[in-house]
Homo-oligomer: A and B are copies of this chain.
Amino acid sequence: MAEQGTRRGRPGYDLESLLAIAVKLFNERGYDGTSMEELSRKLGITKSAIYHHVPSKQELLRLAVDRALDGLFAVTEEPRSREGRAIDRLEHVVRRSVAVLVERLPFVTLLLRVRGNTKVERAALARRREFDQLVTDLVKQAAADGDLRTDIDPAVTSRLLFGMINSVIEWYRPRGGITPDALADAVSTLAFAGLRVD
Contact = CB atoms under 8 A, between A and B. Distances in A.
Given A166-B167, A168-B163, A191 B189 contact: no
A87 interface: yes
Stoichiometry, as copies per complex, reads 2
Contacts of A142: 195
Contacts of A183: 156
A194 B192 contact: yes
Interface stretch (A13-21, A35-43, A68-76, A143-151): A143-151
B186 A148 contact: no
Given A160-B164, A164-B167, A178-B156, A191 B186 contact: no
A171 B146 contact: no
Contacts of A192: 194-196
Interface string A154-198: 001101111110111011000000100001011101111111110
A94 to B, nearest CB: 10
Interface footprint category on A: 35 or more
Contacts of A168: 160, 163
A2 interface: no
A59 interface: no
Contact of A194 (B146, B151, B191): B191
Interface of A: 87, 142, 146-149, 151-153, 156-157, 159-164, 166-168, 170-171, 178, 183, 185-187, 189-197
Given A156-B183, A160-B167, A194-B194, 9 more contacts: A142-B195, A146-B197, A149-B196, A152-B186, A160-B164, A163-B168, A163-B170, A164-B164, A193-B196
7 contacts: A146-B197, A147-B197, A149-B196, A160-B190, A163-B170, A167-B167, A193-B196
